[in-house]
Structure 1
Amino acid sequence: MSSRLGLAASLLLSAFSLVPARAQDAPKTWEVPMGGNSYLTQQPKDGDRRGGRNDSWSSPDAVTSVYFRVDRAADLDIVLRAKVPQGESRIRATLAGKAVEKDLKGAEASDVPLGRVSMKQAGYVKVDLQGIKKTGDTFADVEALEVTPVGKDAAAVVLNYVKDNKGNNFYWGRRGPSIHLGYELPKGEPVEWFYNEITVPVGSDPIGSYFMSNGFGEGYFGMQVNGPEERRVLFSVWSPFKTDHPGEIPEDQKITLLKKGTDVHGGEFGGEGSGGQSYWKYAWKAGNTYRFLNRVHPDGKGSTVYTAWFFVPEKKDWQLIASFKRPQTDKHYTGAHSFLENFSDRQGFLSRGALYGNQWCRDVKGEWHEVTTARFTTDPIGRSLFRMDYAGGSRGKEFFMRNGGFFAENVKPDQKFTREPTPAKKPVIDFSKLEGADLVGGE
């Protein structure tokens, strides 16, 4: 009797011990929500910008593309979860270049198998959705893609995408990862001036790009692509008062515009902190190299003056952008950095990039120091691995950064990179001729 009980107990224990192993080995189905992972990549011919994301999907010309990343070679079964509020529809789904057509109907969400994708290596998968015909007002309301790895080692496969909308992640994820180069300034005398050069390769400048050249602890200075016909050189300084609404800033903590250059707009900004903003509409061109210069110095009265100049190749001269006074601040240049971001969530599926070279700083004694080391970092969207289409580092005499576009390459953040020095290119600047260089405080 005891042996039978012992055998039964042993078999029961063996059965229970198998349950966790089977659950662990079972492939996971990953749900890729449309809200943070899809884009209208082909516009309707009639100009209607509505697509298949969270908008009404009504135009047969519109193509909505959904993206997710797989961490290794894998076979993936892909299912579309959607509903058709009225009537019936026929759509086309293109997976890894292979198109399939599916009939959809039903006011309740249902699963529609689209097919299998075979990835030969780690990288992004793109699924295109396009309407063919419909009897109702819209082709479908699409909720998500369901992706299941299959085959050997399927349980080990990991997918990366924007998983939730906590903290408005869908918006930030659709913008894509912002990335930064934090420059290593020399120790010793305080730094008063910082100089940098940016070259944006042809084709790497989609709308929504901000190529920030000269960042500092309290603001930033660079160039943007604001529209098909508009580009800007932008310089901003944050108020010491923390708010996203400029109207809330107390008078004694507001940024003061001391002077601005010809045709430069001066005002305020909000939304991501608040403060003083200036920009100059200038049709800079991809493929050209542009030069940026900043000065940061205390006025001796408890405030600090921040000034920015942009070298205009056509005039072969420095253009003053603006000079701001920041109260409750007494310091020189700190936190030198560059960053690359996309500020348009509709453009996050497009790639952008730039080369950053010939960085120099000048201390309070007038000595120039070349800056050749930088630390590469990314924002929470990149650190959470919601988006992994970012890269940065050094190539010869320049640093580089690239983001957006769902490319396979990825560079781990928090690495330090060193570029080759360029001592022959030390800046030659006649500071006495710089407009606004003599400004101190409110003078």
Structure 2
Amino acid sequence: MKQESTLRIPAFTAYEENGVMVWYGELKQAGALSFSLEGKGGDLFIEKVTKDGIREPGFESFTKTARCFVGGKDRISVTPGYWRFALKSPGKAEALLLSGSVIKEAHFNLKERKNAASVHLSYALDKEVKAEWFYNEVTVRTEPLYSYYMACGFARGYFGIQVNSPTERRIIFSIWDSGNEGVDRSKVADEDQVKLLAKGDGVIASGFGNEGTGGHSHVVYPWKKDTTYKFLVHAEPVQIGKGRQTVYSGYFWFPEKRAWGLIARFRAPKDGNYLSGLYSFNENFGGDNGQLLRLAEFGPTWVRNSDNKWQELKTASFSCDATGRAKDRLDFAAGVAKSGRWYLSNGGFVKNGIAYKDPLPPRKVHGKPPELLPK
């Protein structure tokens, strides 16, 4: 008799949920699945994941279908979809072992990085447009820890809101230095470093590294999900001596004040450009909870050029980070939400088949540019 092949899913790919070791994976066929554990462990519960990433934040329910004991092996019938494998007390295992006809096309992330794939909206903008202002809105629908919802991204920086801890949330505006240093800002020459020119009340500003280097600013602010927030970036090319630079300013609309507030203003060396490479994204910057759904809606999105003419950005395409492009994680989605705005989701085992560089479907045209700009 031909021996069945086995799919080994290492322990380092599992999440810890309330002290329980949990693996997630997609089975793409219906049929028989055999399962067992390698190493120490306890009861293994296998459950079908059900979800609706657009109407509800995260999982709706789990339905227990089977269990086995470490060292034993069992077989069940499964249907296509995402499945949850939960190892309960008394201990841990070295790996989850699966076999049977359905593992031929099964998909599990087998790498140690457990973050959900970062997902992006790349906005179409003609190269000849001298975009001086970039306006966008974001409404967060789910709010797991270690989430960054970025509204206004551009070639030199990014601007958005972040969940940092159970008690702290931030508005973040950052600009990259010149040069190619990726980690240590102390290695960046002074003439290549972004300079802080001004910051708003309560804003903390510093340098950053480890993702490129640059100037960082943030203010602690209790933003809430299902509330729409407005972001605005201004770019002013300047000539200093023989060098061209650009002054970038990030403004946030504080709804309780009904006014724009400056987050920070930085001068970027070796630049002299207007805004380009415009985008938004969802990021899971901590891998401990990469299984949770991150969902946000974006727009309306506008730019105003150097001639003071507004242009609505009506087309966009989808992109994702290396985790998504390498297909380590496939649970991401993008499209048009019921609100008529574009949405992005990552994690939560929700997908709609969108792929890297796919164009997004047309969204609702807003048609009315922002009325108020900072003084």
Give the helix-richer structure, 1 or 2.
1
Matched, 1:78 2:35: yes
- Structure 2 distance, partners of 1:180, 1:427, is 23
Amino acid at match of 1:127: F
What amino acid does structure 1 have at the position aligned with 2:118?
S
After TM superposition, give the deviation of residue 74 of structure 1 in Å.
3.7
Following the alignment from structure 1 to structure 2, what is the Cα–Cα distance between the partners of residues 338 and 74? 40
Question: 1:409 & 1:114 partners in 2: Cα distance?
Answer: 34
Residue 429 (structure 1) aligns with: 372
Q: How far apart are residue 33 of structure 1 and its match?
A: 1.5
Once the two structures are superposed, the pairs formed by residues 380-395 of structure 1 within 5 Å of their partners are 380-395=322-337
User: Which of 293, 298, 304 is the equivalent residue of 2:232?
Assistant: 293
Match of 1:100 among 32, 47, 67: 67
Instruction: State the SS of the aligned residue for 1:315.
Output: coil
Q: Distance in 1 between matches of 2:351 and 2:344?
A: 14
Aligned residue number for residue 99 of structure 2: 148
1:278 aligns with 2:217: yes
Q: Is 1:358–1:398's contact at 8 Å kept on the other side of the alignment?
A: yes
Equivalence for 1:399: 342
Seen in structure 2, the aligned counterparts of structure 1 residues 244 and 179 have a Cα distance that, compared at 3 Å, is same
Match of 1:423, SS state, is: coil
Instruction: Give the root-mean-square deviation of aligned CA atoms.
Output: 2.0
- Give, in whole Å, the separation in 2 of the partners of 1:161 and 1:192: 44
1:254-333 correspondence to structure 2 within 5 Å:
254-301=193-240, 302-333=244-275
TM-score by length of 1: 0.76
The structural deviation recorded for 1:218 is 1.4
Match of 1:236 among 174, 178, 197: 174
Q: Verify the 8 A CA contact 1:81 1:146 in the aligned structure 2.
A: yes
Structure with bigger RCO (C-alpha 8 Å, 6+ apart): 2
Cα deviation, residue 149, structure 1: 2.7
Find out whether 1:223 has 2:223 as its counterpart: no
Aligned partner of 1:212 in structure 2 is 150
Once the two structures are TM-superposed, the CA of residue 101 in structure 1 deviates from its matched residue by 5.0
2:354 partner SS: coil
User: Deviation digits for residues 392-429 of structure 1, max 9, x if unmatched?
Assistant: 122362000011122354422211122121113x1012
Quote the residue 1:91 is aligned against: 42
Aligned-partner residue type, residue 232 of structure 1: R
Q: State the SS of the aligned residue for 1:131.
A: coil
Residue 141 (structure 2) pairs with residue 184 (structure 1): no
TM-score (norm 2): 0.89
Partner residue in 1 for 2:14: 38
Separation in structure 1 between the aligned mates of residue 325 and residue 197 of structure 2, nearest angstrom: 38
- The unaligned stretches of length 5 or more in structure 1 are 1-21, 43-61, 84-89, 105-111, 133-138, 165-169, 434-443
The amino acid across from 2:218 in the alignment is Y
Corresponding residue for 1:352? 294
Identify if the C-alpha distance between structure 1 residues 263 and 71 changes in structure 2 by more than 3 Å, giving closer, same or farther.
same
Name the counterpart of 1:45: none
CA, structure 1 residues 117+331, in 2 after alignment: closer, same or farther (shift >3 Å)?
farther
Partner of 2:25: 68
The CA deviation at 1:305 is 1.1
Tell me the amino acid that sits aligned with residue 124 of structure 1. Y
Aligned pairs, number: 353
Tell me, in whole angstroms, the C-alpha distance in 2 between the residues paired with 1:385 and 1:117: 27
Q: 1:386 to 1:117 in 2, by over 3 A?
A: farther
Distance 1:147 1:408, change over 3 A: farther
Partner SS, residue 186 of structure 2: helix
- Does residue 175 of structure 2 align to residue 175 of structure 1? no
Q: How far did residue 162 of structure 1 move? A: 2.4
CA distance in 2, matches of 1:309, 1:163: 41
Contact residue 160 and residue 385 of structure 1 kept, 8 A = no
| Shift of residue 188, structure 1, vs aligned partner | 3.5
Which deviates further from its counterpart, 71-80 or 227-236?
71-80
Q: Is the Cα contact below 8 Å between 1:376 and 1:393 reproduced in 2?
A: no
Q: Which residue of 2 aligns with 1:197?
A: 137
Output the amino acid matched with 1:98.
T
Distance 1:360 1:119 in 2: 47
Contact kept in structure 2, 1:93 and 1:100, CA below 8 Å: yes
Aligned to 1:12: none
List runs of 5+ in structure 2 lacking aligned partners: 48-63
Identity across the alignment (%): 33
Higher Cα radius of gyration: 1
CA deviation after TM superposition for structure 1 residue 260, in Å: 0.5
Tell whether the 8 Å contact from 1:75 to 1:116 is kept in structure 2 after alignment: yes
Distance 1:193 1:421, change over 3 A: same
User: AA paired with 2:364?
Assistant: E
With over 3 angstroms needed to count, the CA separation of the structure-2 counterparts of 1:250 and 1:412, relative to structure 1, is same
